[in-house]
A and B are shown apart, each in its own frame.
Chain A
Amino acid sequence: MDQIETESASEPILSIRNLSHHFPIGRKIRRAQLHAVDDINLDLYQGEIVALVGESGSGKSTLARLLARVYRPTSGEILFEGRNIARIRSRRDLLSYRSKIPLIFQDPFSSLNPVHSVGHGLLRTLKLHRPELSREERRDTAIATLESVGLSPASEVLNCYPYELSGGQRQRIGFAQAISCNPRLILADEPVSMLDVSVRIGLLNLMTDLRNSGISMLYITHDIASARYVADRLVVMYAGNIVETGPTESVLGNPTHPYTRLLLSAVPDPMVAIKATAGDIGDPPRVIDPGEGCRFRWRCPLAMEICSVVTPPLLPVSEGHAAACHVTVRSVSENL
């Protein structure tokens, strides 16, 4: 990238504008479109952890892969330091983007190649992204990186095979690969969901430490409690749309969108007695050719006529906090 990097924190690292991605499904005669994400607008800044919260079918993993440039979006754009990533052509520039915005995977059992030592991926990453390093320097950097994610003795770990490491250790290798190239923002796709509960905290703490050292993170999860633990901002997704966004405490303290309220009420909390909820049995969201209107309306206790006709826009609720609901958001202006 030949851009001059602006140091000011007010410039977003990634800027997502009207991003949509559809997958064609079905046979040629009855071809339909699966709207994985629709019309996403989001800015990600330096030194923050943003949690992307949603259930399966919400589009959060698709969004992560769009940002990692695994897919090419159907429409809209993603700007990295002001430049559209879809226009990155040269291999050198693409490698540079990938080192600044790495992706961490969910499954510790399939994210490492079982026939190679865990150092293999790390050393290859360094060879490809930091060609200025000599072989010795690469090895030293790899060892230092492993130590910084809490694995020791790092020189031994480098030669271990994945089956010799626990799930938590393997996820740390994933983090090591991501930070080895001085990233700006890490895309973490459910990094702790497949780990034991007592191991998760260690990794969540590692994430906050990385944030404190200046690396931003997009933390994708379905677990709103862990999102609260690490995130500065929350973005709630449903059926491919962002339904609510804002500072964590603001969203949790004043959940505006009915889906956010439903999510919060469903989180198990030992200290709160159960109120038997009227049967929302968690039907999957409708994302195939959904058309206009709010996609939550079939499950929403507050749905009105307008909800089937007009897709609700994201409107401000308070400072930095916005939600997309015709009913619960009182619009400032009268122009609805």
Chain B
Amino acid sequence: MTAVLEVNGVPEKPDHVRQIRRGSLSNFWRALRSSKKAIVGSGILVVFTFLSLFPGLIAHDNPSAETYLPSLGTSSAHLLGTTSYGQDIYAQVIYGTRVSLIIAIVAGLLTTALSVIIGVSAAYLGGFADGVLSTITDIFLVLPAFPLMIVIAAYSKNGGFTIIIAVLVVTGWSYGARQLRSQALSLRNRDFLLAAQLRGERKWRIIVTEILPNMTSLIVASFLGAAVYAVLAAAGLQFIGLGSVNTDSWGTMLYWAQNNDALLTGSPLWAIVPGLGIGLMGGAFALLNYAFDEVNNPALRPVRRKAVSS
């Protein structure tokens, strides 16, 4: 900021105790970069993304090919051993990253999008529309998610992961919608929204350009939370055999491992490693969520006690 702001020719400074430099976005990046949680979380996700895009670089075997001797232990040829069907576990884990990550991100995005549309519209439209949308939200909130997931998925056994994503979205959107509606409601009485309405902006434009930009932090947090939910819930669904059991994913690895009593027959890594993968991916999103919260709300940041000199 080079020029000094003046009123009627007299220099004026803003009356804040803390003078924040221009570009709150660059401030935000800086804070995020210095947060340990953010570094760890995003580091893990970067690795997983790389594995999703170029699995062939890391694992040289075809994950579904039943070409090896079954139930081998770890060795330099098979870093994690082989399954009961003679598949290379290591290759399966690497290739399985892609499906799990895609489910997490796509389900997360769709869930968040639905939460935003319903939650914010309910808050802004108010009145009868709010009543209808809120009731729908409450119904979905109260439905027991897991049984519902099982029922829906059971009726579409071979739909692959599109069905899983659909089920996750249908059962997961209502929580975020509630939160987003609350925040949008608190914004609703701010004068700048009335000012926008009075200057003639149309309702949809007010929602998109005036309200949503004020909610970005909650929307991002919603997405990260939805991604965690998606990772874990998808794994759960796949583990009990829903969705196509022939896809390469961590959840289906757990399914097959369980069916073949992997822990008992000497191939424990068949079950443990994909479980670790799921935990790591979910944890990475969760860490990012925490980091995001801390950056947005300095009161949550870890306190570093410095010696104060008088």
Q: What is the interface of chain A, defined by CB distance below 8 A to chain B?
A: 68, 70, 91, 94-95, 98, 102-103, 105-107, 110-116, 121, 124-125, 128-129, 150-153, 156-157, 160-161, 163-169, 172, 177, 196, 202
Known contacts A113-B210, A128-B199, A172 near B7 by CB under 8 Å: yes
Least CB separation from B193: chain A residue: A113
Q: Which of A94, A111, A151, A152 contacts B195 (CB 8 A)?
A: A111
With A163-B16, A177-B195 given, can you name 9 additional A-B contacts, CB distance below 8 Å?
A70-B198, A110-B191, A113-B210, A116-B210, A116-B213, A150-B8, A153-B5, A164-B5, A165-B5
Which A residues are CB-close (under 8 A) to B144?
Answer: none
Alpha-carbon distance between A124 and B200 when the two chains are bound, in angstroms: 9
Tally of A-B Cβ pairs under 8 angstroms: 92
Mostly, the B contact residues are loop
Q: Point out the residue from A121, A153, A166 that lies within 8 Å of B13, measured CB to CB.
A: A166
Say whether A110 contacts B7, CB under 8 Å: no
Q: Given A113-B192, A121-B192, does the pair A151, B6 have CB atoms closer than 8 Å? A: yes
B12's nearest neighbour on chain A, judged by CB, is A166
CA gap between A165 and B5 in the complex, in Å: 8
B191 pairs with A107, CB closer than 8 A: yes
B200-A129 in contact (CB<8A): yes
User: Given the complex, which residues of A lie within 8 Å of B200, measured CB to CB?
Assistant: 91, 94-95, 98, 128-129
- Which listed residue (A105, A129, A196, A202) contacts B7, Cβ 8 A? A202
B7, B15, B16, B24 pick with most chain A CB within 10 angstroms: B7
In the assembly, what is the distance between CA of A196 and CA of B12, in Å? 14
Other-chain contact of B201, A112, A124, A152, A156 (Cβ < 8 Å): A124
Is A157's CB under 8 angstroms from B5's CB?
yes
Find chain A residues with CB under 8 A from B1 CB: 164
Query: Given A115-B213, A166-B14, A169-B12, is A156 in contact with B192 using a C-beta cutoff of 8 Å?
Result: no
Residue among B7, B20, B194 making CB contact with A163, cutoff 8 Å: B20
- Is there an interface contact between A153 and B16, defined as CB atoms closer than 8 Å? no
Known A-B contacts A98-B199, A103-B198, A165-B14; A153 and B210 likewise in contact (beta carbons under 8 Å): no
Q: Could you tell me the distance in whole angstroms from the C-beta of B28 to the nearest C-beta in chain A? A: 12
Name 10 interchain pairs, CB-CB below 8 A, sorted by A.
Answer: A68-B198, A94-B200, A95-B200, A124-B201, A151-B5, A152-B5, A152-B6, A164-B22, A168-B7, A177-B199
Chain A residue nearest to B6 (CB atoms) is: A152
In the bound complex, CA of A163 to CA of B13 (Å): 11
**Nearest CB on A from B264, distance (A):** 57
Nearest residue (CB) in A for B195 is: A111
Judged by a CB distance under 8 angstroms, whether B214 is at the interface is yes
Kindly list chain B residues whose C-beta atoms are within 8 Å of the C-beta of A165: 5, 14
Instruction: Give the docked Cα–Cα distance between A113 and B201 (Å).
Output: 14
- Chain B residues within an 8 Å CB radius of A102: 198
Residues of B within 8 A of A163 (CB): 14, 16, 20
Residues of B within 8 A of A95 (CB): 200
Whole-angstrom CA separation of A263 from B225 in the bound complex: 56
